[in-house]
Amino acid sequence: MYKFADWTDDIQHSMMRRLNRHFEGIDDFLSLAGGLPDPDLMPNVPLAEAAQKTLLEQHSTALQYGGNRQSLKEHIANFMQQRGVTCTADDLEITIGGQQCMSLTTKILLNPGGTYAVGDLSYAGIRQAAKSLRPNVLSIPIDPHTGLDLDVLEQHLKDGARPAFLYTVPAAHNPVGVTMPLEQRKRLMALARQYQMLVIEDDAYGFLEYDGEPVPALAAIDPEWAIYLGSFAKILSPGIRLGWVIAPKPILEKVAIAKQMQTLSPSPLSQHIVDNYLSDNDFPALLTQLRTAYGSRRDVMMDAIDEHFPAGVTAYRPTGGMFVWVQLPQGVDGIEVMKHAAAQNAVGCLPGAAFATDAVAEDKYQSNLRITFVRYNEERIAEGIARLGRTLKETI
Q: What domains sit in the chain, N to C, each tagged with a CATH number?
A: 6-42+285-395 (3.90.1150.10), 44-280 (3.40.640.10)
Q: Give pLDDT, residue 27.
A: 77
* 2 — pLDDT class (breaks 50, 70, 90): confident
Mean pLDDT of 224-234: 97
Share of the chain above pLDDT 90, in %: 86
* 386 — pLDDT class (breaks 50, 70, 90): very high
Mean pLDDT of 332-357: 95
Rounded Cα–Cα distance for residues 222 and 206 (Å): 17
Mean pLDDT of 202-208: 97
Q: Give pLDDT, residue 22.
A: 60
Q: Please enumerate in sequence order all residues whose Cβ is within 8 A of that of 65, keeping only pairs 6 or more positions apart, or say none.
A: 264, 265, 268
pLDDT mean across residues, the chain: 94
Answer yes or no: is pLDDT of 81 > 80: yes
Share of the chain above pLDDT 70, in %: 97
pLDDT in tens, 132-179: 899 999 999 999 999 999 999 999 999 999 999 999 999 999 999 999
* Type of residue found at 309: F
Strand partners, 138: 117
Q: Give pLDDT, residue 14.
A: 60
Helix segments in the chain, DSSP class H: 15-19, 44-57, 59-62, 70-79, 97-109, 125-130, 150-158, 182-195, 218-221, 249-263, 268-280, 283-308, 334-345, 359-364, 378-395
* 7 — pLDDT class (breaks 50, 70, 90): confident
* 16 — pLDDT class (breaks 50, 70, 90): low
Mean pLDDT of 79-85: 96
Strand partners, 244: 94, 230
Strand partners, 351: 369
Angle separating helix axes 283-308 and 70-79, nearest 10 degrees = 50
Query: Residues 94, 271: contact at Cβ < 8 Å?
Result: yes
Specify whether the backbone of 25 is left (phi greater than 0), alpha (psi in -120 to 50) or beta. Answer: left
Query: Residues 96, 115: contact at Cβ < 8 Å?
Result: no
Answer yes or no: is pLDDT of 13 > 70: no
Reduced to 3 states (helix: H, G, I; strand: E, B; else coil), residue 106 is helix
pLDDT in tens, 28-71: 899 999 889 999 999 999 999 999 999 999 999 999 999 999 99
Q: Give pLDDT, residue 10.
A: 73
pLDDT in tens, 296-321: 999 999 999 999 999 999 999 999 99
Reduced to 3 states (helix: H, G, I; strand: E, B; else coil), residue 263 is helix
The helix (run of H) or strand (run of E) holding residue 332 is none
* 226 — pLDDT class (breaks 50, 70, 90): very high
Mean pLDDT of 227-250: 97
Answer yes or no: is pLDDT of 329 > 70: yes
Answer yes or no: is pLDDT of 86 > 90: yes
pLDDT in tens, 251-274: 999 999 999 999 989 999 999 999
Residue with the larger pLDDT of the pair 124 and 78: 78
